[in-house]
Amino acid sequence: AQTVTQSQPEMSVQEAETVTLSCTYDTSESDYYLFWYKQPPSRQMILVIRQEAYKQQNATENRFSVNFQKAAKSFSLKISDSQLGDAAMYFCAYRTPSGGGADGLTFGKGTHLIIQP
């Protein structure tokens, strides 16, 4: 079974600074997808960024980028120019493409990100 580990229960960063959230995963699959989701206090899970395992290029979405190290099974999220609105729980998630998506997402325990004004 796949597992996702987020070793940082909580992180704090000054507004406008850069922060990196860590995620490692364990799988025997060679093809899979990795995601970072954000969950603010409203409970609404919002996709931040997605990475396909077959792509060597790291995904980037505006201020959000990932460092995907397939051999190390590491998938960290970098947030640049942190803003107050970035404060939330961040979840790393894994999924295989097999079965048409029937296996759902496997989530890490989450990292609570605090933005200091």
Partner 1 sequence: GAGVSQSPSNKVTEKGKDVELRCDPISGHTALYWYRQSLGQGLEFLIYFQGNSAPDKSGLPSDRFSAERTGGSVSTLTIQRTQQEDSAVYLCASSLIGGAYEQYFGPGTRLTVT
d(CA 91, CA 78): 13
Query: Within 13 A of 92's CA, how many CA atoms are on the CB side?
Result: 29
Q: Which of 24, 45, 73, 78 binds partner 1 (CB under 8 A)?
A: 45
**Phi then psi dihedrals of residue 108, to 5 deg:** -80, 180
CB 60 within 8 A of CB 50: no
Least Å from the CB of residue 15 to partner 1: 27
Token pair for residue 19?
């922060």
Instruction: Find the shortest distance in angstroms from Cβ 103 to partner 1.
Output: 7
Q: Which of 12, 14, 18, 44 binds partner 1 (CB under 8 A)?
A: 44
Residues 48-77 contacting partner 1, CB under 8 A = 50, 52
Interacting residue ranges for partner 1, rule: CB under 8 A: 32-33, 37, 42-47, 50, 52, 91, 95-110
